Chains A and B, each alone.
Chain A
């Protein structure tokens, strides 16, 4: 494949994502972008800055489970400055006081308590009507049915059986009463696209994605339940070459996905991103 064809492809994805960002910003009263500090999230920041000519005109939200890798906290502070981010951080202090944690509870419960609960509380507090997510259709089968603008009810539920039609660049223009719309600029991207774009644009990312001692992280979550994969890929070029050959799924190292056959479905029905 020629470098040019690949560039065309990435530029097309980039320009479409920018259009989605801009339509969301024009259509909704109050926009927020949750930020996991992972690679997709960091690509979103980059795209938002391109869409809005350098300045992100809405806040970012980090739901801190307190189980992030130490390197992620360092990266957060660094990226905040580089990108001029207006950052809101929320922790479910109550759950932590009640002793909810990976040492004593199962991953689904912890994810629910430390991520979904404070996330919903933040939505209630700030009354955002649009949330920008880094969801990609290739990530997980349940995500294949997402739309660019995906309405969620006040309870955060996703009525995937009765989604509005979406065509000719016309998206759902308003959130359901008391609910919000998930805006998903990365819907058409693949994991490989993300890395090729990071390489092309030189986007800052945590170094946990690169191999140390023969292991690297392919997807990042809470440290007790996120496992590295065997890989010699120690830089972006090597990661890209590896992804071109792999057939294992991206989230294979994320334990909460594998508890039951439908754990992802369950988590998402409860409002997980």
Chain B
């Protein structure tokens, strides 16, 4: 039996770790400037390797006839060892006397920049290696530019391979002078420039005897002096809505507090849309106690005092300190896509839980991340940085990056894949005060959902109005703007002058569609109940309302059933010949051939019918980018 001892004594007692919060550190720098070697050495010198790991790697090296290198410790996958380049972000855990770290060994090879971004975006500090012999190279500058964009502020530069330049202080000073100027132009500042020789462990954990001139910290001393990432709890509340849960009687707004803090009793405003309500409870499981406050980074499960319309993507804040709401802003973007970023092209913009189409309205300039030179262009190649005007197809909530970094940055996606990211520098003044005609999309933005026309057709007495009334109730209670246009009501008002002739029926349908169009234009979901017996008339109505989402609901009840109900006594009158051209009796009803919803009332309960219609509405409006579950 393969039994291993777990309780074997460990040679030294473990240091007392003071800070249990793991700090994420990214290691970057030009290809072959020694990143993997440095990390391997760091693991070894902090005694963070599993038992037997180093012996195993030495053995594997011997088998493959290679000289042992500390870099191999990280190259867990065989292919990497064969190619001698780190292919992806590797995360390695280690500890110093002060605290635990997750170190992200980001690759230096040019085509793998996206992995470095992945690593660096989650880091609170960065170590950037420069080869003392080769000096500052292309990637040394490029990576620093990305760090500045990703918001990594704590930076230590490691001047590596000092053994190859005879541990020369003047070589070191030359690199410090050159690189400091470059960092300054990016608004970055290195906390230290530490001279090291990673291969020999000099100034990594232990001080180097060969560089007695260096009085500053070793790498681990510098790391231990870093602070954790900024605590955003002091900022205004930003709670993006992740989802609305209705698993039981509760309606829970789920989201993560990205900045600030939230408490029961707080008044919230949801943007875009601008609806307000008050936090009633936090639905924390397992209970019975719930938290009294949820701070930055905490997941919140909120119930509200009022049943207002809320959907994924909206950002909740306190009314006194709201995010900006708009469609257009100036941004700095890093582009990692295989295909270039193209002016006038539409991408998917993802900002917190918001997900909207956005067009790159203008590429202002493309900046060479290495030389920092800018030029104009219509497209941006892979691994470049540029400044652009972004125009979203509808309003979004955001902050400027310098006001609140977490709501001031976004990702750009195409074909379900993220290709770039950016930070919001400024709003675009021109569009801040909209002018000209108020558009349908502006009205929709205020309503918080797109409009639609739902046309219920069917015989008199088939149940059109009953179903439409129940649908209206459900939509209204869910916070939607909804209105019903009822054929019987029209007959005594707008259509008072019309009878039942074919021409009058056509005119009645025309007028009803005009009224529906006006309501839909105000942003309402408009429910029309009208017999509209002729297919040609209904087709005209659909065409007249082509600007709106249109659903035809066929309430299909057998004539005998309708006649037996005869709530209004109309069938009796028609049979007695008191009403001429009554649909189904003395005038034809042309059943729709392909209605969006077909309700067979003799087989479907009213409740099921209402659900069918609501689901169909959900489905067509979901495509408009909104959460439409009722």
Instruction: Identify the A interface with B (CB < 8 A).
Output: 1, 5-6, 8-9, 11-12, 15-16, 18-19, 22-23, 25-26, 49-55, 57, 137-138, 141-142, 144-145, 147, 160-161, 163-170, 172-174, 188, 190, 215, 218, 227-233, 242, 244-249, 252-253, 255, 261-262, 265
Q: Cβ of A245 and Cβ of B118 under 8 Å apart?
A: no
Q: In the complex, A228→B1 CA distance in Å?
A: 9
Provide the residues of chain A in CB contact with B283, threshold 8 Å: 53
A-chain residues with CB within 8 Å of residue B336 when the two chains form the complex: 165
Closest to A214 in B: B7
Name 28 A/B residue pairs within 8 A (Cβ), A-sorted: A1-B18, A5-B18, A9-B22, A22-B255, A22-B256, A25-B243, A26-B242, A49-B285, A50-B299, A57-B247, A142-B77, A145-B77, A163-B115, A163-B118, A166-B118, A167-B117, A172-B417, A173-B350, A173-B355, A173-B413, A215-B3, A230-B6, A233-B6, A244-B14, A248-B6, A248-B50, A252-B4, A265-B78
In contact, B76 and A144 (Cβ under 8 angstroms) = yes
Closest B residue, CB atoms, query A54: B285
Pick from B298, B352, B418, B421: contact of A172, CB below 8 A.
B418
- Which of B90-98, B357-365, B583-591 forms contacts with chain A? B90-98
User: Separation in Å of the A7 CB from the closest CB of chain B?
Assistant: 9
Q: Does B121 contact A (CB under 8 A)?
A: yes
Known: A9-B22, A165-B418. A141 touches B254 (CB 8 A): no
Closest Cβ neighbor of A190 among chain B residues: B93
**How many Å lie between the Cα of A19 and that of B409 in the bound state?**
18
B5 A261 Cβ-Cβ under 8 A: no
- Are B299 and A168 neighbours in the complex by a CB distance under 8 Å? no
A162→B346 CA distance, assembly (Å):
24
* Binary flags per residue of B1-37, CB closer than 8 Å to A gives 1, else 0: 1111111001000101111111000000000000000
- Pairwise interchain contact A161-B87, C-beta atoms closer than 8 A: yes
A261 contacts B60, CB within 8 Å? yes
Closest to A175 in B: B416
Quote the shortest CB–CB distance from A161 to chain B (angstroms): 6
B299 to chain A, nearest CB (A): 4
Please state if A54 and B2 are interface contacts (CB–CB under 8 Å): no
A6 CA / B242 CA spacing, docked (Å): 28
Residue of A5, A25, A166 with most chain B CB atoms under a 10 A cut-off: A166
- Shortest B285–chain A CB gap in Å is 4
Docked complex Cα distance between A50 and B285 (Å): 5
**Chain A residues, Cβ within 8 Å of B121:** 166-168
Alpha-carbon gap, A51 to B252, bound state (A): 11
B436 interface contact, C-beta 8 A: no
- CB neighbours of B10 from chain A (8 A): 245-247
Complex: A227 Cα to B17 Cα, angstroms: 32
Question: Contacts A165-B418, A170-B350; is A262 near B297 (CB within 8 Å)?
Answer: no
Closest to A166 in B: B118
Query: Which residue of A is nearest B297, CB measured?
Result: A15
Chain B nearest CB, measured from A237 CB (Å): 15
Q: Which residue of B lies closest to A201 (CB)?
A: B286
> Within the assembled complex, what's the spacing in Å between the Cα atoms of A247 and B6?
8
B248 at the interface (CB under 8 A from A): yes
- Residues in A neighbouring B140, C-beta threshold 8 A: none
Contact of B92 among A144, A167, A248, A255 (CB under 8 A): A144
Let me know if B102 is at the binding interface, CB within 8 A.
yes
What residues of chain A lie closer than 8 Å to B14, measured between beta carbons?
A: 244-245
Contact with A along B186-202 (1 / 0, CB 8 A): 00000000000000000
Is B286 in contact with A54, judged by CB distance below 8 angstroms? yes
Q: Tell me the minimal C-beta distance from A164 to chain B in angstroms.
A: 5
Complex alpha-carbon distance, A188 and B100, angstroms: 12
Q: Are B90 and A145 in contact (CB under 8 A)?
A: yes
For B352, the chain A residues whose CB sits under 8 A away are: 169
Determine how close the nearest CB of chain A comes to the CB of B295; give it in whole angstroms. Answer: 10
Q: Is A247 touching B286 in the complex (CB atoms < 8 A)?
A: no
Whole-angstrom distance from the CB of A80 to the nearest CB of chain B?
17
User: In the complex the two chains form, is A1's CB within 8 Å of B20's CB?
Assistant: yes
- B232-257 residues with Cβ-Cβ distance < 8 A to A are 242-243, 245, 247-248, 250, 252, 254-256
Q: Are B254 and A55 in contact (CB under 8 A)?
A: no
B150 within 8 A of A: yes
Flag if A230 contacts B2 (CB, 8 Å).
no
Q: Are the C-beta atoms of B2 and A255 separated by less than 8 Å?
A: yes
Is B160 positioned at the interface, with any CB of A under 8 Å from its CB? no
Give every chain B residue within 8 A of A261 (Cβ-Cβ): 60
Complex Cα gap A50–B409 (Å): 28
Given that A172-B417, A173-B416 are known contacts, is A49 also in contact with B21, CB under 8 Å in the complex? no
B612 CB → nearest A CB, Å: 20
Inter-subunit contact B242/A165 (CB<8 Å) = no
Measured between beta carbons, the chain A residues less than 8 angstroms from B312 are 26
Interface string of B300-323 (1 = CB under 8 A from A): 010000000000100000000000
If A55-B248, A232-B7 are given as contacts, then 16 extra A-B residue pairs at C-beta distance below 8 Å, sorted by A number, are A1-B20, A12-B21, A19-B299, A26-B243, A53-B247, A144-B76, A160-B87, A163-B88, A167-B418, A188-B22, A215-B3, A227-B1, A233-B6, A247-B10, A248-B4, A253-B4
**In the bound complex, CA of A224 to CA of B136 (Å):** 57
Asked if B6 and A142 make an inter-chain contact with CB atoms under 8 angstroms apart, the answer reads no
How far does the Cβ of B243 sit from chain A's closest Cβ, in whole Å?
Answer: 5
**Set of chain A residues within 8 Å of B50, measured between Cβ atoms:** 247-249
Q: How far does the alpha carbon of A172 sit from the alpha carbon of B252 in the complex, in Å?
A: 25
Q: Which of A145, A244, A255 has the most CB of B within 10 A?
A: A145
Question: Chain B's nearest CB lies how many Å from the CB of A245?
Answer: 6
A50 to B252, CA, bound (A): 13
Contact A167 B5 (CB under 8 A): no
Q: Are B299 and A51 in contact (CB under 8 A)?
A: yes
> What's the nearest-Cβ distance from chain B to residue A186, in Å?
13
> Chain A residues with Cβ under 8 A from B93's Cβ?
137-138, 190
**What is the bound-complex CA distance between A57 and B16, given in angstroms?**
42
CB pair A231–B7 under 8 Å, yes or no, is: yes
- Highest count of chain A CB atoms <10 Å: which of B90, B117, B242, B406: B242
A109 to B16, CA, bound (A): 44
The chain B residue sitting closest to A167, CB to CB, is: B121
Asked if residues B421 and A52 are in contact (CB atoms below 8 Å), the reply is no
Tell me the nearest residue of chain B to A176, going by C-beta.
B416
